[in-house]
Structure formats: structure tokens, C-alpha cells
Chain A
């Protein structure tokens, strides 16, 4: 697909208003409510004026748009001696994400692999199907970003239906999928093709964030494969408090828990909620035994899953380098420093062999 358009800022506003008035859910980066900080979050917008195109990475990733923190799978009701099931009430409302960051859009394609693997997750794919993603070239990187180290970049179009690059008074848009083409259709004739479509230079953001972490994912994986038992794990996990903040802000973490919650004496709902591997409860058995007995074992699992097991099974790491886990950790756990250390050890081992 090679459709390209110049879209003025006001034309894009028209598109957004059209989507909203057609009843679609439009998600975009907006200023966090009630925050004294300069923080953004992805949230539904009622007007294009609410959208913040620049500024830092939104606090939480886009994950919750496709995979909500809690959702009902089905309801049940006891009727005499049998049980009636109320089918899954989840609708898949048509959604357009405007201004997705490249690291968030890419994560959907990475997680698709596991969601469609041994069991096809209808809730995940139902919402994926109903969602169109307009990614914008990343406007802001900081010392916690490392997307180039995991094969992405501030201008990566992975997972995008449209990729928007800021240009004079608007954007140059690359339309990349059929879904993207369908969204463009009503405006296709009115919006001009760029005469000379050339990628804008993005103020050196790529080289800036590339300098934060220089490792090869395959080199990391090779070290991990041979170092399940290594003193490193005890050492790095000491400061970890064992909360789920890193996993919950992560665009790629996707573990969940399923609970039955009664609502009254004869009915209730089965819900699926986000879960995370750092709390001890995650692997606690009914017997009281916990196979991941300490924080070192739990932190090792986090790194192993993302940088060893996932690439071994699906061919790529479960990380887009957004750096949210680094920014959000109150204990100063730093994935960049840890991957750099593993990369260094791997190189040393490679040089020695």
C-alpha cells in the first residue's frame, strides 16, 4: 500500500470531529486530570482541541484500550438447582487512536503473537479489529527511552494504520493498511498527495535515545539462556518492592488473573483483571508453596520472559523500549542499566569462548 496525503491541522480536526459525531470512541494523549505535573494520558476526547501532540510519553501505555484493567467475561445466576450464564456483554466499540506513540502501537503486534497462539483470545482480537491506529512520529524522548535497542525507532510505523510525520502546518500521512484506507476514504479526494514525500528530520531524537542503551537482543538472550542461576539476580532484585507498577504501565506485559465476584447471594460475575509477576501472590500455590520464593526469582522471571522465553518462542522481545518501567519505579530499578550489564557480560563471555 503506498497511499500518502498531506493533511492540514484543520483537516485533521475535521476528521476527528467527524469520528466523534459518528459515535466512535476517539482516544488521544490528553493532559491528566487533577495532576500538578506535566503529565499526559491516553483518554477518550470529545474535541480535537483536547489533544496534546507534543510532550512526554503518556503515563500508561495504550494497552488498556485493547485489554482493559478489568472486564467481565460473563455473568451467572443461580436458578433453582441450575445456573444460567449471561453471555459476555463486551461490545467492541469502534475506536480510533489518534497520536499513538510508536512504542505503544508496536506493542500490539508483538502481543498479538501470544494472544493468537495456543488459544485465540477473542476479547483481544475483537478490540484489535475494531481499532484503527494513527501513530505520530515520536515528539519526545528522554533518558529512559531505548526503542532502538529493541529494533524500533521514534519513527517506527509498526502497528500503525496511518503514520503521521509533522510537516508544515499539519502532517504527512502514510496510509499503511486496509483499515487505514477505509478511514481515509471520505477525504481521499480532497486531501492532496505530497509532491515530494520525504521523511522529516526529527531533531536527532533517534540518535539521542540510541545512546541510552547499546545492546543486541540476541546477545542478551544468549546470556539469559545460560544464566538462570546467577548471583546477578539476587543482587539486582534487592531494591525491588515487589509491586506491579512496572508491569501495569508496560505496553507489552499482558498477564491476567481471573476472579469470580459474587453480587448478592445467587448471582455474580467472572472478571479478568491485570496481574503482574513481581508480587509474591502471582505464583503462590494453594498449598502455601511458592515456586518463585523470593524477589530475585520473581525479577529474573520478568527479564527472562521478556528477553529469553518470548523471543525463543515468538522471535522477538516482549519490550518496545518505552522506558515506562524505569520512570515509574519508586525503588530505582533500571531496566536500561540491567540490560547494559547483561549485554556487557554476554560480550565478555563471547570474547572468552
Chain B
């Protein structure tokens, strides 16, 4: 922790950055922090409650964060994939952001949960995660961590759903998406949902009906899943933010599976590797054209 605080203080003092995007303790667990004064760096923490993906605050649509100036951001290995995505898709410049990588042994799903990390409270993405630190960083801090608790059974539910027949699957999703009231928390918290004008907000024509009825909800969630196919960094923030607790990660992981099997592509924190949706190759499958 001291290492992180000392580094942040130095970055601010030396004017290398204007703001540190990190984590702080608050009344109710841990929350994102925006630290602009070297004297405030002792507020910074990093522990197993730091579930938030702070890369979301780097996107150019966050005008109020951008107004603070050049940022340094605290990133876990999963968050680094989002930073790489923003660089790859020309949303930020690698040089304009200082990346403080932190070693991570898994985080809890609820940042207000102060009990020790266990298989009962771990964020679903962490139980199968084998990356203890990002490869993309300017500074790397923290003690080496062990692998998190929990079984790597995260995709068991996905396989169950794949095994269903289409009617059963439709019934399941009518029920799950029926709970959506279109608050768009999934989109707003997503580091890769950076479109200046989301298709769901367009009115002439209204491609996606804004009403939270089945037709509108299916149009919204399936469009989003497709737009994130091969781009979703699997940080789980959409699912954590959903006030209706819809397991949205199922949709994006299904898309990730398809992209992996079809294009041999897995989302990485190397910004130099292009995504299938952002590149063309002569051997891309095109049987759907014929």
C-alpha cells in the first residue's frame, strides 16, 4: 500500500500526472477515488474490495474526469485489457495515461463486503482468473499474490444454457431480460461502451425501442452483446452494476466463446493485437455470404 501511495505522490509532485484514479475507503467499503493533491495520496488503498474497473473513467465521454487533466490509473490485470481496448480503438493515447499495475489475488463482488475473500463472496470472474498482474503497465506495485479461492466452474451455467433447445433458451431469456427496466447501468459502467451516441439513444429512426418490453429489451441486450463480441474484456462490471441482477455476463461470454472458436481470438491486454471486429483477413469465414 505504501508503495502505491509513494508512487502516486511522486507522480503528482513531479507533475507527471494531474490526477490519480485509484481506490479509497469510504463509509461503505471501497469506492473509486480521484486524487489531485499529493497530500491526499494516503487515502489510496488497494485490497480485495477493489472490484471496480477504473478504465471506464478513461473514456473520452467522461468529460468531467478528462477536465482534471492527465491521469494515472490503478489497474488490475482484467482492467488492463480494457485500457488496451481503449488504446487499440483509438480512444486514448498510450503516452497520455500513466498505468499503475497492481498485483491482484482476486476481488469480492461487493466492494462494501469487508469479510475475507472466499469462494462465497469472490467476484465470478476471479475464480477462473490466472493473471496475477497485468502485462501492460508503466509501474507495477504490490506483493506477489496467490491464486484466488473458488472453482473454475464459471462457465458451467453457460454450457447448461447451450445444451437447452431453442424454446427453453428463449423462455429463459424472456424471464431474465423481462426484469430489465433500461436504466443502462450496463452500458454506462462498461469501459468498452464508449460510443459518443449509442444506437440505443438514436431516435431517427429509433433502431432500438426504448420501452422496457420484451422486444425492446431483446433488441438492446443482443445488440450490445454483438457490438462487444471480441471486445468485451470480461470485467463483469455490467453484471455487477445491474440493479435487476440480470446475469449479463452470460451473453458476453457466449459471444467470446464464438469469437474464440471462429477467429482464434481471445481478448488480451496487448493493444497491438487487432480484434476480429476491427480487422480483416482473407481467410475470415464468409460462408454466410454465399
The stretch that binds B, out of A29-37, A83-91, A106-114, is: A29-37
Give CA–CA (A244, B247) in the complex, Å.
18
Question: Is B176 an interface residue, CB under 8 A from the partner?
Answer: yes
- Which stretch (A93-101, A161-169, A173-181, A331-339) binds chain B? A331-339
- Cβ-based interface call for B118 (8 A): no
In the bound complex, CA of A337 to CA of B241 (Å): 20
CB < 8 Å neighbour of B243 from A59, A143, A242, A336: A59
B240 near A59 with CB under 8 A, answer no
Within 8 A of A (CB), among B173-200: 175-176, 181-185, 187-189
A77 to chain B minimum Cβ distance, whole angstroms, is 18
Q: Decide yes or no whether A8 CB sits under 8 A from chain B.
A: no
In the assembled complex, the CB of A272 is this many whole angstroms from the nearest CB of chain B, namely 9
- Set of chain B residues within 8 Å of A279, measured between Cβ atoms: 184, 188
What residue in chain B is nearest A298 (Cβ atoms)? B64
Residue in A33, A244, A249, A281 whose beta carbon sits within 8 Å of that of B175 in the complex = A33
Q: How far is the CB of A267 from chain B (nearest CB, A)?
A: 15
Are B64 and A332 closer than 8 Å at their CB atoms?
no
Encoded as 1 (CB less than 8 Å from any B CB) or 0, chain A from 8 to 35 comes to: 0000000000000000000000001111
Q: Are A59 and B245 in contact (CB under 8 A)?
A: yes
Q: Given the complex, which residues of B lie within 8 Å of A243, measured CB to CB?
A: 183-185, 187-189, 241
Q: Are B243 and A331 in contact (CB under 8 A)?
A: no
User: How many B residues, CB 8 Å from partner?
Assistant: 42
- Residues of chain A contacted by B111 (CB below 8 angstroms): 332
User: Please, what's the 1-or-0 string for A251-278, where 1 marks a CB less than 8 Å from any CB in chain B?
Assistant: 0000001010100000000010110100
Asked if A237 is at the interface of the complex by the 8 Å CB criterion, the answer is yes
B32 in contact with A239 (CB, 8 Å): yes
Interface size on A, residues (CB 8 A): 44
Contact assessment for A331 and B210 in the assembled complex, using a CB-CB cutoff below 8 Å: no
Residues of the B chain whose Cβ atoms lie less than 8 Å from the Cβ of A294: 63-64, 67
Would you give the shortest CB distance from A247 to chain B, in whole angstroms? 7
**Which chain A residue lies CB-closest to B247?**
A34
Residue-wise, chain B 64-85 has the 8 Å CB interface mask toward A (1 for contact) of 1101100000000000000000
Is the Cβ of A32 less than 8 Å from the Cβ of B245? yes
List the one stretch of B23-31, B93-101, B125-133 in contact with chain A: B23-31
Known: A59-B243, A59-B244, A279-B188. A334 touches B237 (CB 8 A): no
Q: Is the CB of B201 within 8 A of A69?
A: no
**A35 B245 Cβ-Cβ under 8 A:** yes
Q: Are B26 and A334 in contact (CB under 8 A)?
A: yes
Interface readout for A293-335 with B: 1 if CB under 8 Å, 0 if not?
Answer: 0111000000000000000000000000000001010111010
Taking a contact as CB atoms under 8 Å apart, the answer to whether A331 and B31 are in contact is yes
How many angstroms between the C-alpha atoms of A253 and B176 in the bound complex?
A: 24
Could you tell me the distance between the alpha carbons of A39 and B175 in the complex, rounded to whole angstroms?
Answer: 17
B257 contacts partner chain A, Cβ-Cβ < 8 Å: no
Interface of A is mostly: loop
Within 8 Å CB of B32, what residues of A? 238-239, 331-332
A259-B67 Cα distance, complex, nearest whole Å: 34
Q: A239-B34, A245-B241 are in contact. Are A273 and B210 (CB under 8 A)?
A: yes
Instruction: For B245, list chain A residues within 8 Å (CB).
Output: 32, 35, 37, 39, 59
Report yes or no: A337 in contact with B240, Cβ–Cβ below 8 A. no
Q: Which residues of B contact A271 (CB under 8 A)?
A: 211
The answer to whether B185 touches A259 (Cβ under 8 A) is no
Taking A241-B185, A248-B181, A294-B64 as contacts, is the C-beta distance between A330 and B28 under 8 angstroms? no
Is the C-beta of B234 less than 8 angstroms from some C-beta in chain A? no
Contacting pair B182 A273 (CB below 8 A): yes
Q: What's the Cα separation between A60 and B243 when bound, in Å?
A: 8
Q: For the complex, is B103 an interface residue (Cβ under 8 Å from A)?
A: no
- From 194 to 241 in chain A, residues with beta carbon under 8 angstroms from any chain B beta carbon are 234, 237-239, 241
- Residues in chain B near residue A237, CB distance under 8 A: 64
Query: Hey, which chain A residues are within 8 Å of B237, CB to CB?
Result: 330
A129 CB–B CB distance under 8 Å: no
User: Does B108 count as interface, using CB distance less than 8 angstroms?
Assistant: no
Flag whether B41 is at the interface (Cβ < 8 A): no
What residue of chain A has the Cβ atom nearest to residue B53's Cβ? A330
A-B contact pairs, 24 of them (CB 8 A): A33-B175, A34-B175, A34-B176, A59-B245, A70-B213, A144-B28, A237-B64, A241-B188, A243-B183, A243-B241, A244-B184, A245-B185, A273-B182, A279-B184, A294-B64, A294-B67, A328-B243, A330-B185, A331-B32, A332-B28, A332-B30, A332-B52, A334-B27, A337-B27
* The 10 nearest A-B residue pairs measured at CB: A332-B31, A330-B241, A244-B183, A243-B188, A243-B185, A241-B188, A245-B185, A70-B211, A69-B181, A245-B243
Q: What is the interface of chain A, defined by CB distance below 8 A to chain B?
A: 32-35, 37, 39, 59-60, 69-70, 143-144, 234, 237-239, 241-245, 247-249, 257, 259, 261, 271, 273-274, 276, 279, 281, 294-296, 326, 328, 330-332, 334, 336-337
Binding site for A on B (CB under 8 A): 26-32, 34, 52, 56-57, 63-65, 67-68, 111, 175-176, 181-185, 187-189, 201, 206, 209-213, 216, 237, 240-241, 243-245, 247
